[in-house]
């Protein structure tokens, strides 16, 4: 537990630095990454599907994924701080801060770090493998198909895309693993685990499992839509879902500390009052 303003500053600085390093790595892939340019078989029917706009756009995906987690964490942590009878304010870098803000900083910060790690792992796979999307032929329009020189089971590597949209052609080489599947499974599995650990309201037995079911159905539908929209092969979606779920479990269990204590702000309570929160288990700082 940091005890001085200098310790608070160093702790926050290191946390932000780690998040920025991973975040800028993701941005570098998006702005300057070049996918591996693999060829294709002339008779490969799995990449000849028509191009469709996605049912769930990237804007909706990221907005809903972050919004649901932040809203849920804000509400649940507020009641946790209120229930735990924490001191009304605490001093962080000479600023009076309510424990709720520190709890949100920890929970949302860890969630965002995990999301960045999941996205970076997904991008490394995408740009390293360079698998062609199901609509690759429709977007690329290879010259060897236009002039009829590609026949039978010939594997073609020397071809030129005649399609006008270079961005769409680049994206058509980034099929494996599915980014929509990895992000949706990370955010929704993480939220389901968070509700399991933090939503302790006992007025009803079915509220928590109902909310968890909704979370899982959201990511399940997102993954299925990527196949029906001809954006990904089924194996792309499966790999993305497994990757996102694994990162969510690892971050939730080993990084967030949400399962280790009953009160989110336990690490900032005065030492003389910590044992009043949970007498059966000593509190551990994050």
Please identify every residue annotated as catalytic.
180, 232
Angle between helices 179-198 and 207-228 (to 10 degrees): 180
> Which residues, including other chains, have CB under 8 Å from residue 272's CB and lie 6 or more apart?
none
Report the C-alpha gap between 216 and 185 in whole angstroms.
8
Which tokens go with 279? Answer: 């007498």
For residue 26, how far is the Cα from the chain centroid? 12
Torsion sign across C-alpha atoms 47, 48, 49, 52: positive
> Which residues, including other chains, have CB under 8 Å from residue 248's CB and lie 6 or more apart?
114, 118, 185, 186, 187, 189, 190, 193
Question: What end-to-end distance do the CA atoms of the chain give, in Å?
Answer: 8
What length does the chain have? 286
């Amino acid at each position: 537990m940091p005890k001085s303003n200098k310790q608070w500053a160093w702790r926050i600085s290191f946390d932000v630095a780690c998040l920025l390093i991973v975040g800028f790595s993701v941005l570098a892939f998006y702005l300057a990454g070049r996918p591996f340019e693999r060829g294709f078989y002339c008779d490969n029917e799995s990449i000849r599907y028509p191009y469709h706009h996605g049912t769930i756009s990237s804007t909706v995906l990221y907005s809903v994924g972050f919004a649901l987690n932040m809203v849920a964490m804000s509400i649940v942590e507020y009641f946790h701080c209120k229930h735990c009878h924490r001191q009304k304010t605490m001093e962080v870098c000479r600023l009076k801060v309510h424990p709720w803000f520190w709890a949100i900083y920890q929970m949302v910060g860890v969630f965002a770090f995990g999301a960045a790690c999941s996205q970076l792992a997904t991008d490394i796979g995408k740009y390293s493998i360079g698998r062609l999307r199901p609509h690759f032929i429709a977007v690329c329009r290879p010259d060897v198909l236009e002039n009829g020189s590609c026949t039978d089971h010939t594997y073609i590597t020397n071809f030129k895309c005649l399609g006008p949209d270079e961005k769409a052609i680049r994206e058509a080489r980034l099929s494996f693993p599915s980014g929509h599947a990895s992000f949706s499974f990370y955010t929704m599995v993480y939220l389901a685990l968070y509700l399991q650990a933090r939503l302790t309201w006992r007025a009803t037995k079915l509220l928590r499992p109902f909310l968890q079911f909704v979370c899982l159905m959201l990511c399940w539908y997102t993954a299925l839509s990527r196949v029906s929209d001809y954006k990904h092969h089924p194996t792309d979606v499966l790999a993305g879902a497994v990757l996102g779920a694994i990162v969510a479990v690892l971050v939730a269990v080993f990084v967030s500390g949400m399962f280790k204590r009953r009160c989110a702000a336990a690490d900032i309570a005065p030492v003389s009052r910590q044992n009043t929160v949970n007498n059966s288990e000593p509190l551990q700082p994050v």
